[in-house]
Amino acid sequence: MQKKTLHGFHAVAARLKRFPDSVLEIYLDASRHDARARDLTQLAQAQGVKLLHVDDKRLNGLTGDARHQGVAALIDAGKSYVALEDVLDDLAEPAFLLVLDGITDPHNLGACLRVADAMGVHAVIAPKDKSVGLTATVSKVACGAAETVPYVMVTNLARTLRELKDREIWIAGTAADADVDLHHFTGGTGPIAWVLGNEGEGMRRLTREHCDVLVSIPMFGSVESLNASVATGIVLAETRRQRTLAG
């Protein structure tokens, strides 16, 4: 069993709704009697999950003194595995994917998941090596998106990109030295996987070589780069805009 702790109302409630069998126990601040606490209690009861009322000291111990909002949950992370094939086989529209290569900052990953959820991304893909994974901090920052957007960790990212190409999914990487900028890129209406690297080094060489096209984000100010979550929001929003206009 792969046990880990989640904290925050959004993260815990989203986990209860999407993967109720993975929630082992919920710990709620005994002093909270507000609407959010009542709603969470009712949801836990409806899903048959044990909820314990504890003091703040117990919650701090469970979460490492993180900003837990008065709630934490012990989960079996192994029961939330989602296979990429299952996601793609069930789609009723062109695939819309996000690939994160080398994101090691949990706050960045959490923000990427949040914007991916907002823009209707079907799955987020990341390599198992040199990636932060779904930590408690990631789930907290994602405000529930870590439990609603399928997060697929793969052993070999290059092989996964080749498999996406076999499914006729266009691989678009982001790079400052690209031949086309986002304002002139019109490939968002078809099956697409956006690839973003970390802020410092960008995509790894092999990942870059597997991209069908490289796209830059136009910059009009004095800064030379954007962090991963901001860049993610820009390219995903543009793709969603193109799809909306295309009907």
Stretches where the chain sits below pLDDT 50 are none
DSSP 80: G
Asked whether residue 226 is marked as a ligand-binding residue, the answer is yes
CATH number at residue 39: 3.30.1330.30
d(C-alpha 1, C-alpha 111), whole Å: 27
Of 79, 100, 119, the position where a domain reaches its end is 79
Q: Are residues 129 and 12 in the same domain?
A: no
Q: Are residues 154 and 95 in the same domain?
A: yes
Residue 131 pLDDT: 83
Q: Are residues 116 and 204 in the same domain?
A: yes
- For residue 229, give both structure tokens: 């979550």
Q: Are residues 16 and 118 in the same domain?
A: no
* H or E stretch at 96: strand 96-101
Of 34, 50, 79, the position where a domain reaches its end is 79
Q: Are residues 110 and 206 in the same domain?
A: yes
DSSP 78: G
5 φ, ψ (degrees, to nearest 5): -110, 135
Residue 192 pLDDT: 98
Domains in the chain, number: 2
Which residues are within 8 A (CB) of 220 and not within 5 positions of it... i.e. 6 or more apart?
none
Q: Model-level pTM?
A: 0.74
Burial of 85 (0-12, 13-18, 19+ CB in 10 A): exposed
Please give the residue range of the domain that contains residue 16.
3-79
Q: Are residues 53 and 95 in the same domain?
A: no
d(C-alpha 113, C-alpha 117), whole Å: 6
Residue 1 pLDDT: 66
Q: Are residues 89 and 67 in the same domain?
A: no
DSSP 155: S
CATH number at residue 226: 3.40.1280.10
Alpha helices in the chain (DSSP H): 9-18, 35-47, 56-63, 84-89, 106-118, 136-142, 157-166, 205-209, 228-246
Q: Are residues 71 and 112 in the same domain?
A: no
d(C-alpha 112, C-alpha 215), whole Å: 18
Q: Are residues 133 and 232 in the same domain?
A: yes
